[in-house]
Amino acid sequence: MTGWQIAAAVLTAAVVPCGWVCLRRSFASGLVAVQLAATAAGLALLTLAEAEGREPFANLALVLVVLSFAGALVFLRFLERQR
Amino acid sequence: MSATSVLSYALLAAGVAMVLFASVGLLAMDDIYGRLHYLAPSSLGAVLVAAAIWVREGPSTIAMQATLLAAFLLVASPALVHGTARAVRISEHGDWRPRRGEPVETEGR
């Protein structure tokens, strides 16, 4: 197992606390956790692409991060309307 | 192990540590405003991981993609944090502006 594969595994593990916050805390806290999880998952995909020498797979990381940003903006609108 | 390899692994370890720190900090904080602070270290982690890929690969497709990802996160993350704090404030009080009589910190006055 190379250092890059270990890094990808650790970054994937970093998503677990975010999932815990999503499940157990408020909607607003869950939204912050989703944003952090998207960053961690994107970096995990990037390091995995580097570890396996598959450059095109880095596109997945880029698309995930951009789409999760758009998704977070939509959830922010829902949060504003939640009283 | 060459110096380039050592530098690359050091940058990668620092980047991963940043994201891990942000993730644990998110879990440790009590309220939403405290949790928001932990989005910044994750963006810094992305920059460090992109730097590690640059050091390892040099100018290449994956290095450019990593740079693009880090640059996007550097721009988007503060905007998202601001938007989230604003949305939480609107959700709690109906308006993001300070209420009458609410103490507001001002800089330099």
Structural domain range at position A66: 3-81
- For residue B46, give the nearest of B17, B26, B23, B69 by alpha carbon: B69
Which chain B residues are Cβ-neighbours of A36 within 8 angstroms? 22-23, 26, 38-39, 42
Note whether B42 contacts A36, CB cutoff 8 Å. yes
Contact with chain A for residue B84, Cβ under 8 A:
yes
Task: Give the DSSP letter of residue B99.
Answer: P
Q: How far is B15 from chain A (nearest CA, A)?
A: 9
Number of domains in chain A: 1
Q: Does residue A41 sit at the B interface (CB-CB below 8 Å)?
A: no
Question: For B55-104, what is each residue's pLDDT tens digit?
Answer: 999 899 999 999 999 999 999 999 999 999 999 999 888 888 878 777 77
Q: Is B44 on the interface with A (CB under 8 A)?
A: no
Token pair 């963006």: residue: B43
pLDDT digits (tens, 9 = 90+) for A4-53: 999 999 999 999 999 999 999 989 999 999 999 999 999 999 999 999 98
DSSP code string of B7-53: HHHHHHHHHHHHHHHHHHHHHH-SSHHHHHTTHHHHHHHHHHHHHHH
ipTM of the complex: 0.91
The answer to whether the CB of B31 falls within 8 A of the CB of A38 is: no
Cα distances (Å, whole numbers) of residue B10 to A31, A53, B51, B109: 31, 20, 10, 43
